[in-house]
Each structure stands twice: as structure tokens, then as C-alpha cells.
Structure 1
């Protein structure tokens, strides 16, 4: 990863890309590493478990982990972290109403930690789970106390497993849904306080399209600034996307939206987060042609690199 550079009073913000754009396309390191390094001009990535299922047999996982480590080193790419991806996110994970399913989701993460360690990836994270919707469609303002206590207990256990694998950090990605946790700054602070002192530190990775979701938070809530200002001590990575604040779009920056890259960089520096790597996280329809995706990502990467430099 490129070292932080300070020019005058302006610190360069580390910038990379989440490999979400590779799903069902550039699915092996032999395919995505040259694209990241040569087409996009980046040397920092966040791996997605949409490209490797932790529940594959050990022999397959071990081979893929070894190849990921080898290709990244050969390409001069730092794999900063690994996130759970879209496929696993669709399940209710650690907050499923069936505790046996929660146990399985916990084991899924334990195996994700094992893969990361073998691949030379020091951090793993993502959203943790979702409670089911109610029959009448109303949504609670908070998790049931027993569900929350169970979640925190699992986080402490997971940290023990992460320590055994030699990982450095675990991430929670807040999402803009009442069925998930945390979805407010206060909830995120409480969770970080409740897992403080765990065997491996839990940290936050906020997403620009989550904290700006106006249907949940309202148009005057301050967007990302309260998240960054009030939680700066526990934020060590950030996701950026183009969005309209009406849905969690995950557009690239060739699409018109409300996120201005220069203003985003200014906010990160003002809130003391210039050292936290920022990862572009974009998703495309599977039927979208691959050539136009690469063209859009080249333009997007160039624009964000310039803004964050």
C-alpha cells in the first residue's frame, strides 16, 4: 500500500477498491489483479467473499488463498481486508431467529478468518446480521435486549478466533436498516463500547451510501459528518460510492449523484480520518457488459484518486 503523503497541510488519503465489481466476472486473482494494477492504477484492494466461499472444502480454500497471496505480491497489491460480500449478506446471519442458523453464520466467519490468514489478509468484516420483519410490517427502533446480548457475546467469541488466526482487526459495517445493527451513531458507539477489550479490536467501516440514506435519517441529519466526527476513534476504513441518498445505490462516479469526491475528501480530513483507507464499493447488474464496466471504473478511479490525493 502506498505510504501516506503529506503535501503542505494536505494529507493524501489512501484509496483502493472493493472487489465487488468482479463478482461473476473476474473471479480469480489471475483475472482481477492485472485489472486493478494496470487498468485502474491501484495498489490497494478489499477482497470480497463473493469470490471465495469460506465453506468450500479446505483443499480448495487453501489453494485459492495461496494463489491470492502470490498474485497480490507479484502485482504489488496490498489486500487490506476481506468483506463478507453480497451473497452472504443476503442471509440474516448472526441475528437469524433460529439460533442454529446463527451458530452456522458464526462458523462461516471463523472459516472466513482462516482463509484470510492463509491469504495474508489481516482484517475481516461486514454487516453482522438482520432480525426478521414483523408480520404487520412495522419495524422496531432497537434490537431485543436478548438478541443484542447474544450478538455481543458472539462478537467476543469471534475475536478470540480471529486472534488465533493472527488477524489484526475485525469490522462492523453499519447499515441503514432498523432490522440490522447498528444503524445509528449512538448504537454504533454502544456496540464499540460493549466489545472494547475483545481479543482482536472491533472497528467500524461506514459507507457513504448508508449514512446518507434520507428515508431513514431524514434530509437534515448531517449525512456522514456525525458518523465521522463522533466515531473517528473507532473508524479505520470507509466505503465510498455514488448515490442519490434515496437508496443504497453503489453507483460508480460516471453516474450523476449527490456525493462530491472533493467534498468527501475535505470531510475526511476535517474529521481526522485522512489516514483511514477509502474503498470504492460498486455493484453492477450481472447482465451489464464487462467492457463498459471497466471504462466506467477507469474514469471513476482517476476522479477519486485526484480528489483524495
Structure 2
């Protein structure tokens, strides 16, 4: 039986460009044509004062309701791509645990049923020392597990981590991802799942994006989709121009999903535009064309 798939939009495209909830909500609903939202922390960093957070959450609730959108998940993004649970300073790890708890609470207020991030990032000093490396990974697992019990009390269904591009950022091979997922789930309050990204297959021995989906798709309720070249993570749009160059296409991706045993998932657009004259004014149009391409395969 084919997987039940929906399209979603990661709001990374809106960071510093379309930050107002009434602006990005209208763009996603009316110009891009997507209903499901993956909200990103860089649009509302919970380090901000509580009164500002509450005001913004109310605006987000008002405008997602107005435009028929649903915040199904939340995630960290470009500016929150930091060491967090594997920071070498224990005091800062503690601060980030409280940050993630607050972000999870705010996520639930927006309507999200799960939240996630990269697992954590090792410094070179910690990565190069085998004993220290394992200690820091254990610290990361401990903090994620504590967060998972907090997420359970909030009513979330799962937590997610994203396999990344280099060993210091964790889970950069299929085997490492499976091992980390198993370790996280040994003492979890809610299940840990994976947020696959079809561009994150950079290891020299593991560069087939479709293999990642075939082997890990069943544990990935959200898959980030981007157009890319082999050996890169370009975050290109699915426009005619880039589809001629790229390796991510609808038919083989859906085939890999079916072979994985995945039953239900969101394919979430994570498309990036560099700050340049050639791309700055194409953001909305490129997203709209990307959605149009994928509507051939996903009819939600």
C-alpha cells in the first residue's frame, strides 16, 4: 500500500525576510499553496523575553488559523545550528536543555506534535579525543532523553534528530544513524524518530540519497526535500532549471519511500536562497514552482 504523504513547508526561507506571521502565513497559503508548516526557531528564538514570545505565539495562532495552515512540527535552523547538547561547557548544556524545553512548550502552543534538531555538534578537541568524544555523545543522549520525558508530558508524539553532513555533527552514515537512534530510544519518554534530508548523504561511502530513504524512511515521519547534486547539499528549488542538474526526482524518491515501509510522512521543502541579486527576488516563485512539481506525486 502506498505511503500516505503530505507536503510541508520549512520556514527557513522566511528568516530575516518574511518574519511577520501575517506575511509568511499568507505567502505559504496563497502563493506557495501548502497547508502544513515546519516552524523554525530562528523566527522566534525562545531566548527572547516571555512577553514577546507570547505576543508572537498569539499572532502565529491567529494567522495560521486565518489562512488554514497547521504547524505540524518545529525545528532548529541556520542560526541555531550550534553545539547545544554537546557543548564542552556543562553550564551551557544545561542552558540549552532549558531552551529546548521552552521551545517544545511553545511548539505545542502553536499546534506542533513534534520538534527536533541536529543531535548536537562536537568541537574538534572533543572529537579528536576518543574518550572525551564518547562522554560528550553520552551527555547528548542524556539531555535528549530528559527532553523526551518533558515532551511526553506536553502531549507530543515524538522527537526528531536530523542526520548531518560530517562526523562531528553526528549520524553522517546510515549505520551511525541507526546506532544513535537505538541508543536514544533505550530510555525515551516519547519515541525518537529521524528527520531525513535527501541532500545529507556526503560520506564518501554513503552518497546515495535513495539508499538513506530505503533504509531509514520507516523511522522518518518528516523528510526534508531539496534539489541537489551528488556529493553536495545545495538546497536548490525544484524548478525546471535545477531539475535538469539535480539528482532528486519524484519517481525514484517515492519508490524508495515505498521500499522503506514508511506508512505516513510529510515531505517538507527546505530550500535556500543566497543573499544575491540573482536569487533574492526569486524566493517565492521558486518555492511555488517547486510545490507545483511535487503536486504531480503528492496530492494532499
Query: TM-score normalised to the size of structure 1?
Result: 0.87
CA offsets 1:45-76 (integer angstroms, 9 cap, x no match): 11111111111111111111122122112211
The verdict on how the C-alpha distance between 1:210 and 1:46 changes in structure 2, with shifts beyond 3 A counting, is same
Choose which of 150, 156, 163 in structure 2 pairs with 1:161. Answer: 150
Q: 2:254 aligns with which of 265, 288, 303?
A: 265
2-side partners of 1:115 and 1:290: how far apart?
30
1:302 aligns with 2:289: no
Aligned residue among 178, 192, 203 for 1:202? 192
Deviation at 1:217, TM superposition (A): 2.8
The structure with the greater share of residues assigned to helix is 2
Contact 2:207–2:230 at 8 Å: present in 1 too?
no
How far apart in 2 are the matches of 1:308 and 1:115?
30
Aligned to 2:172: 183
When the two chains are superposed, the root-mean-square deviation of aligned CA atoms in Å is 2.3
Runs of 4+ residues deviating >6 angstroms? 138-143
1:192 CA displacement? 2.0
Give the corresponding residue for 1:45.
37
SS at match of 2:37: strand
| Superposition map of 1:76-115 within 5 A | 76-89=68-81, 91-115=82-106
Which whole-Å deviations, capped at 9, do the CAs of 1:134-181 have from their partners, x for residues lacking one?
Answer: 59xx96899822112111111111112222333222110010211022
> Is the aligned partner of 1:248 residue 2:265?
no
Q: How many residues align?
A: 293
Residue number among 16, 19, 33 corresponding to 2:25 in the alignment: 33
Structure 1 unaligned residues grouped into runs of 5+: 1-8
Residue 220 (structure 2) pairs with residue 238 (structure 1) = no
1:67 aligned onto 2:56: no
| CA gap 1:44/1:133 in 2 versus in 1, 3 angstroms | same
- Select which of 49, 56, 70 maps to 1:57: 49
Which of the numbers 204, 228, 246 marks the counterpart of 1:217?
A: 204
Distance in 2 between residues matched to 1:28 and 1:168, nearest whole Å: 28
CA distance in 1, matches of 2:129, 2:275: 34
In structure 2, relative to structure 1, the CA distance for the partners of 1:10 and 1:130 (3 Å cut) is closer
Instruction: Evaluate the alpha carbon distance shift between residue 141 and residue 274 of structure 1 in structure 2; reply closer, same or farther with a 3 A threshold.
Output: farther
Q: Deviations over 1:94-141 (max 9, x none)?
A: 112222222222222111112112222221101022111259xx9689
Change (3 A) 1:75 1:156: same
When normalised by structure 2's length, the TM-score is: 0.89
139-148 vs 94-103, which moves further: 139-148
Structure 1 match to 2:211: 226
Structure 2 unmatched runs, 5+: none
What residue in structure 2 maps to residue 192 of structure 1?
Answer: 181
Task: Provide the C-alpha distance between the structure 2 equivalents of 1:194 and 1:11, rounded to a whole number of angstroms.
Answer: 27
Distance 1:140 1:174, change over 3 A: farther
Matching residue within 108, 123, 136 for 1:147? 136
SS in 2 for 1:24: coil
Q: Tell me how far 1:228 sits from its aligned partner.
A: 2.8
Partner Cα distance (1:139, 1:287) in 2: 37
